[in-house]
Amino acid sequence: MASDLEAAAEAYRAALKRVDDGLAEVAAARTDVPKVRTRLAAAIVQAYLDGTRVGEIARVSGYGREQVRRILRAGGVEADQP
């Protein structure tokens, strides 16, 4: 009985540690998002200037076409409408 209690308590502590580790990882990822988003926006503008179509940029980036156009406008580029 005591060994079951000890095993259950250890499993509980391990689960709490995984939660804490997961929360720390989420917090770290959240701090990376703005930096990575800026990098993606710059890459979107450059890809468009290099001749990549808005639809292809949308497919690769995971953004919708209108969001790609917004990013382009924010980057000083007016995307051609189809």
What's the pLDDT band for 8 if we cut at 50, 70, 90?
very high
The structural domains of the chain, with segments of one domain joined by +, span 2-74
pLDDT in tens, 11-61: 999 999 999 999 999 999 999 999 999 999 999 999 999 999 999 999 999
Residue 24 CA to residue 54 CA, distance in Å, equals 36
Measured CA to CA, the distance from residue 16 to residue 22 in angstroms comes to: 10
pTM confidence score: 0.73
φ, ψ at 53 (rounded to 5°): -75, 155
